A and B are shown apart, each in its own frame.
Chain A
Amino acid sequence: MWTQPGENEMTDTTSAVAARIQQEVLAQGSGSVGLLENAPAAVALTDVAVDFGSTHAVRRVTFPLVANRVTALVGPSGCGKTTVLRAINRMHDRSGGKVTGSIRLGDLEIYGRDAQPELIRSRIGMVFQRPNPFPTMSILDNVTSGLRFNGIRNKQVLKDAAESALQSAALWDTVKDRLDQPAVRLSGGQQQRLCIARALAVEPEVLLMDEPCSALDPISTSAIEETIVELASEVTIALVTHNMFQATRCADLTAVFLLDADDHIGELVEYGSTQQIFSAPSDSRTEQYVTGQVS
Chain B
Amino acid sequence: MQTKEGSPRQLLEQRRSSLSSGRGYAGLLWLAAGIFVVILAAIIEGIVSQSTMAWGHFGLGFLWSTAWNESTNTFGAGQFIIGTLTVTGIAMLIAVPVGLATAAFLTEMCPRRIATPLGVAIDLIAAVPSIVVGLWGLYVLQPVFLRDVEPFMKKIPVIDFAFKGNAEGASYFLAGFVLSIMIVPTMVALSRTALAGVGNTDREAAFALGATPWQVIRKVVVPGANSGLLAAGTLALGRAVGETIAITLLIGNSLTLGHPFSLLNPGATLGSVIVLNFGESQPGTLLRSTLLALAVVLLAMTLIVNIGGRLIVRKNLLFRLP
| Residues B209 and A132 in contact, CB atoms below 8 Å apart | no
**Chain A positions within 8 Å of B226 at CB level:** 136
* Binary A-proximity of B208-236 (CB < 8 A = 1, otherwise 0): 11111001000110011010000000000
CB pair B204 A128 closer than 8 Å:
yes
Contact B322 A184 (CB under 8 A): yes
Q: How many residues of chain A are within 8 Å of chain B by beta carbon?
A: 30
Interface of B is mostly: helix
Q: How far is the CB of B241 from chain A (nearest CB, A)?
A: 30
Which of these, B202, B207, B212, B322, contacts A134 with CB under 8 Å? B202
Judge whether A190 is part of the interface by a CB distance below 8 angstroms.
no
* Known contacts A134-B220, A182-B322, A184-B322; is-contact A149 B201 (Cβ 8 Å): no
Do A121 and B220 touch (CB < 8 A)?
no
Interface size band for B: 20 to 34
Contact B204 A132, beta carbon cutoff 8 Å: yes
B201 proximity list for chain A (CB < 8 A)? 128, 130, 132
On whether the beta carbons of A89 and B208 are closer than 8 Å, the reply is: yes
Considering only CB atoms, which chain B residue lies closest to A120 in the complex?
A: B210
Select one of A94, A185, A202 contacting B322, CB under 8 A.
A185
CB distance from A209 to the nearest CB of B (A): 11
For A129, give the chain B residue with the smallest CB separation.
Answer: B201
Query: Contact at A122–B202, with CB atoms within 8 Å?
Result: no
Set B202, B212, B219, B223: member contacting A118, Cβ < 8 A: B212
Q: When the two chains form their complex, are residues A149 and B206 in contact, meaning their CB atoms are under 8 A apart? A: yes
Q: Which of B285-322 contact A (CB under 8 A)?
A: 320, 322
B208, B210, B219, B223: the one within 8 Å of A119 (CB)? B210
Interface: A65 (CB within 8 A): no
- Cβ of A125 within 8 Å of any chain B Cβ, yes or no, is yes
Provide the residues of chain B in CB contact with A91, threshold 8 Å: 204, 207-208
Residues of the B chain whose Cβ atoms lie less than 8 Å from the Cβ of A202 = 209-210
* Chain B CB within 8 A of A285 CB: no
- Nearest residue (CB) in B for A126 is B208
Contact of A77 with B by CB under 8 A: no
In the complex, the answer to whether A135 meets B210 with C-beta atoms within 8 Å is no
A197-220 with Cβ < 8 A to chain B: 198-199, 202
Q: Please pick, from B202, B210, B223, B320, the residue contacting A121 in the complex, using a CB distance under 8 A.
A: B210
Question: A132-B199, A134-B220 given as contacts; is B209 within 8 A of A198 (CB)?
Answer: yes
Interface membership of B205, Cβ < 8 A: yes
Question: For chain B residues 164-211, which have a beta carbon within 8 Å of chain A?
Answer: 199, 201-202, 204-211
Separation of A21 and B220 alpha carbons in the complex (Å): 42
Cα(A202)–Cα(B224), bound, Å:
23
How distant is the Cα of A94 from the Cα of B205 in the complex, in angstroms? 13
- Taking the closest CB of chain B, its distance from the CB of A87, in whole angstroms, is 13
Determine the distance from Cα of A208 to Cα of B320 in the docked complex, in whole angstroms.
Answer: 31
Residue among B206, B207, B210, B224 having the largest count of chain A Cβ atoms under 10 Å: B210
Q: List residues of chain A with CB within 8 A of the CB of B215.
A: 149
A125 touches B202 (CB 8 A): no
Asked whether A118 lies within 8 Å of B211 as measured between CB atoms, the reply is: yes
Whether a CB of chain B sits under 8 angstroms from the CB of A78 is no
A150 contacts the other chain (Cβ, under 8 Å)? Answer: yes
Within 8 A of B (CB), among A70-127: 89, 91, 94, 118-122, 125-126
Q: Does A35 contact B (CB under 8 A)?
A: no
**Complex CA–CA separation, A145 to B215 (angstroms):** 11
| Set of chain A residues within 8 Å of B212, measured between Cβ atoms | 118
Which one, B202, B210, B223, contacts A150 given CB within 8 A?
B210
Inside 8 A of B205's CB, which chain A residues have their CB? Answer: 126, 128, 132-134, 195, 198
Chain A residues whose CB sits within 8 angstroms of the CB of B220 once the complex forms:
134, 136
B residues near A (Cβ < 8 Å) are: 199, 201-202, 204-212, 215, 219-220, 223-224, 226, 320, 322
18 contacts between A and B (CB under 8 A): A91-B208, A94-B207, A121-B207, A121-B208, A121-B210, A128-B201, A128-B205, A132-B202, A132-B204, A133-B205, A134-B202, A136-B224, A137-B223, A145-B209, A145-B219, A149-B206, A150-B209, A185-B322
Give me 10 other A-B pairs in contact (C-beta within 8 A), A91-B204, A125-B209, A128-B204 excluded.
A91-B207, A119-B210, A121-B207, A121-B208, A128-B205, A136-B224, A145-B206, A146-B210, A195-B205, A202-B209
Q: Which 4 A-B pairs have the closest CB atoms?
A: A146-B209, A122-B210, A126-B208, A136-B223
